[in-house]
Structure formats: C-alpha cells, structure tokens
Chains A and B, each alone.
Chain A
C-alpha cells in the first residue's frame, strides 16, 4: 500500500511472539511445579474477618494474629473469610490467596528460615484494611 517493504515489521513481530512464547512456557512450567502440594503437608485453617486473622492448627489449637510454625515442615493453608473478602499474604514466602467468603482456597509452603515475617491483608476490606496484619513466627 505504501510502497515500502514490511519485512522489518514481520521480523519484529516474530521476535516479540517468540519472547512471549518463552515467558508463557516458563510461567506455565513454574506454576505447574508450584501448585503441586506435597502429601505430608500439615493443614492450617486460615480465616480472615474484619480486621484480623485466625489460624487453626491440625491438632485443633487456635491462634489469633500470630502463627507459630516449625522450620522445614511443609504446610498447606486452607484460606477462607467470614464477612467480606480478604487476601492472605505472607510476602516473604510468596503466599498470596484471596480469602473469599464461602470458598476455601489453598496455598502451601515450607518455611526454610527461622524468624518473624509479616502477614498482611492484600484485598481492600474496609476501614482498617491497612492494619489487618499478623506475624508468622518460624521456630527451629
């Protein structure tokens, strides 16, 4: 139409598409591995409500705001909410799942370093959303 060759544009589109294929394939592969929960993972029930977190261990003990876990043990979170939607987030371990009323979402991890890590809410949930925090304490 405009009397010049379009081949540079096609090469450019080809490069873009191959980069995207690489990113997509890599993401697919990593996500597939990440989602595979180990069978020996201990279940922790997580409930979000305005504006605090409640945790229930497999043996029935409950904690509010603080979560004590053991280093090296795989854990599986079963996350839900009581009143409105929240999002359970331990940023240092890349745990992020929405806590949705009426649904149980799961995420798993193995704490590999002892210490204290912040837990926070990452879905807007009203007045004190910014302060809906907790602490993960990983013990030796």
Chain B
C-alpha cells in the first residue's frame, strides 16, 4: 500500500488537491519546514546563553522576539500541523472511508497555516507565547504584536476547522461494520483531541479579540488603568492552553500506539484501557488550567482545587505508559528507528510527568514557577514526548509517503544524538530552575553553577541541532535516491504487512 508519491506529479497538482493524502503531504512539508525554522531560533537562544553577557545577539529585544517566535512556531506551526498531517493520512484509512468528511474544508484548514505563519514570522513579536497583559496590551511594540494576534487568530480557526473535520469523519464516515470501540487508537486519539479543541479554543479566541481592542485603545478589558483585570486574560488563556497541551500530546501517544505493537509484533495489551485513558484525559484536561497561576495571588482553596485537578490527569497518563510497557513485555521487539523514537518518547514522557506531579504540589510550585525548571519540564513534553513521537512516526510513514526507505543507520544515529541532547538540555534546565534562574532572560548573573548548567544545556542543544541536520539530509536524499522499500513489509517484521483496517481480506 503506497499512500503518496508513487507517481511523481507536478507540485501544483498536490497544492490544489483536496485528497486527504495530498493535504497530509502539504501538512508534513509545512510543519517540518517550520520545525527547522523554530529549531534554528532555539539554537540561537542557547548559543546566546552559553556565557553570561551578550554573545551573538546584541540586544535583549531581539532575544525576546526570538524566544517568542520560537515557542509560537513550534507549538502552532510544527506540532499541531504535524498531528494534522498524520491524521489526514491515517484517520480515513483507519475508519475505512475514501477521504475526510469535508475535503474542501480540509484544504482550507491547511491553507490558513501559511498566512498565519507568515504573520508571526514577519511581525516577530516580543511578548512571549502567552502574551500577558498589561504588557501585551499597553507596552509591546506594534505592529509585531498585532500581527501575532492576527496570526494566532487564523491558526485558531484552522485548528477548529480541522477538529470539526476529524470528529465528523470518525463518527459519521466510519465503515458500518466497524464499531466505535474497535476504531484503532490512533484514530481515537484524533477524536478525543479534536473534542478538546472544540471546547478549549473559543476562550482564547475571545481573549485575542479583547487583547486587540485593548491595544487599539477602545477597550480596557485587561488594563487596570481602565478598570480591567489582567488576571482575567490569564484565565482565558490557560483555559485554552492547558487543554491544548493534551491536544498535542494525545495524537503523539496515538502515534506510539500505532508503532509499539507493530514493532513488538504483538497486539496492544489493552485497546479498551487506551480508549478509556484518552477519554479521561480529554475531560480532566479542563480541570487544571489555573495551576499555571498559583503565584498570581490565588486563595488557598483555589490552589487546592487546581492541584487536585492537575493530579487527576496522572493516572490516565500512567495507564498509557503501562499499556506500552505491557505490550513490549516479553515481545520480540525490533528496534528499528520508529520504535527507538517511540520508546525514547515514552521514557521522557514518564520523566516529564513525574516532574509535573512535583510541580503541581503547591509549595514546590513557588520554587519552580517561571524558572528554568518550567522550561525544562514542558520541553520534556513538547520535545521529548510529542516531537519524539512525531519524528518516529515520520520515519514510520516515510516508505508510505515516498515508496522508498530512509537510511536506517542514519536514523538510529539521529535518535541517539537527539536523545542524549534532549537529556542534556532539559534535565539540566530543571536544575537551573532549582538554582533560581528565571525563564525568558537574555542574560544571567555569572554564578558558576548557572554557567556550567547553561553550558551543558547549550552543548546538548547543538547536538540536537546537528542530529536534525542529519535527519534532513537523510529525508531529502532517501526521498529521491533511497532504496525502494519492500511495501509489503518495509521493516522485515515478518508476515504480510498491511493495515488491517484497510485490507478487505487480510491473510495472516
């Protein structure tokens, strides 16, 4: 089964197509391009922080703009579109339908991403990805800030359109012989994460409009000088973006649910517990948004409620980890590149989750909040878990996209370097936070412990950067000149290789 590019076509045919694999391919290319752009900014940030004082960046405003665009790009222009890419390729196949439910809407949702990305990159705003007022309302320099607001608005609409499409496709277009309980976990992950998008995004959409009118000076929703409340913005923001974390992580776990059983040559330990954990996660994701705001002057009761809401997400996440480990237990595992990325991602997911439990404990949060601990913590999710799952899945999709095999050795080297680099960057950042280094800083005091930790982190980041370059070369070279893949069984896992949901007469 070859999904894409079996016959080379002119690029405009793919660009104007509404077929789900063509839109999926556009999503892949766009998201990977933005991954490298955002990653380049990260390398700039780490190079600057290698030593105290100004290094390669001469002024703090440029630095502030870099970390803002870095975060915005990698969340909205890499992780989300990449998940949509995978969903576009696999959801219709898994529910046995010819395309997405609304193919034109699907193409429109994709084509909103380039203008959104262009606004963010051409504006290059400075107020960090969470744009908190009153700074963002009264002090952040325009037009960069306004362009960021419009860019995010467009990307938010694109997310909602994509989510509607996934939900309708899965619930209404699945094959009548396929009960919802038997829908593969990757498709389930898109169903649950799309539900979260529909409920979560509107509050941030409202906040963005209010922020824009505040900036125009006609309202004062978040400006205390006009009777507004800046904390209201933070509630609206985190009501969207705490669940959004799950919107990102649930598809990544779904991708691992596809890879782990395949390369373990075993069925998943428990399909029903995977579904259960997805549904529970999608609900409890809404119970924890204000744990980002303990230090804003919340009452003891509020903090207690949101601590409990945060801890409630842990058992369901733990069930996924258990499911993966139980599937691999006693299996004949083939550690090909996609499997290595998935297993590495699970290990880092577990570490990130453990850090999250510590963080949720109220007194500890006052040590870690807005310090480098938090940077390390959420990067273990977004890089260590979600990007690892996504990169592994791109290796897994590679033969199906191109009909060719990537270079396996280069893929393994890519994984090992990235894993080592990720541990070097983000574990040390936890320690930096405990030493008290604030996040979003252009410069730091020349304490020896700050310097050594920042240097370990910067070296780790360069290792990741080098490995990603190797990846890019591997992908581009193999797409044109790689060995032709054995499309029945690209990884030699034994037996006939097929998607059980697609094959009408699977022969084992």
Q: Residues of A at under 8 Å CB distance from B?
A: 1-2, 4, 6, 8-9, 12-13, 16-17, 19-20, 23-24, 26-28, 30-32, 34-35, 50, 83-85, 87, 89, 91-92, 94, 96-98, 100-106, 118, 120-131, 133
Contacts and interface: CB of A to CB of B under 8 A. Distances in A.
Contacts of A106: 297
Nearest to A123: B370
29 contacts: A2-B267, A9-B319, A9-B323, A16-B318, A20-B357, A24-B361, A27-B362, A28-B304, A28-B362, A31-B304, A50-B139, A83-B139, A84-B134, A97-B295, A98-B296, A100-B296, A101-B134, A101-B225, A102-B224, A105-B297, A118-B436, A121-B438, A122-B371, A126-B126, A126-B140, A127-B60, A128-B60, A129-B442, A130-B443
Given A9-B322, A84-B139, A124-B127, A101 B132 contact: no
A133 B89 CA distance: 51
Contacts of B138: 83-84
A96 B315 contact: no
A21 to B, nearest CB: 8
B191 to A, nearest CB: 19
Nearest to B293: A98
Contacts of A122: 369-371, 438-439
B64 A2 contact: no
Given A31-B303, A121-B438, A6 B366 contact: no
A132 to B, nearest CB: 9
Given A34-B363, A87-B370, A92-B436, 8 more contacts: A16-B314, A20-B315, A83-B139, A100-B296, A124-B64, A128-B60, A130-B60, A130-B441
B128 interface: yes
Interface residues of B, number: 63
B329 to A, nearest CB: 10
A129 B230 contact: no
B269 interface: yes
Of B138, B224, B295, B362, most A-chain CB atoms within 10 Å: B295
Contacts of B64: 124, 126-127, 129
A129 B230 CA distance: 18
B326 to A, nearest CB: 7
Contacts of A97: 295, 297
A17 B231 contact: no
Interface stretch (B30-38, B270-278, B395-403, B415-423): B270-278
B319 A127 contact: no
B410 interface: no
A38 B392 CA distance: 55
Given A84-B134, A85-B134, A94-B367, A35 B272 contact: no
B320 to A, nearest CB: 11
B298 to A, nearest CB: 9
Nearest to A118: B445
Contact of A85 (B230, B371, B440): B230
A24 B296 contact: no
B319 A13 contact: yes
Contact of A131 (B126, B360, B443): B443
A53 to B, nearest CB: 14
Interface in B258-273: 267-273
Given A103-B297, A130-B444, A24 B307 contact: yes
B297 A124 contact: no
Nearest to A14: B315
A35 to B, nearest CB: 6
Contacts of B139: 50, 83-84, 126
Residue from A17, A124, A128 whose CB has the most chain B CB atoms within 10 Å: A124
Contact of A27 (B128, B231, B361, B371): B361
A130 B128 CA distance: 13
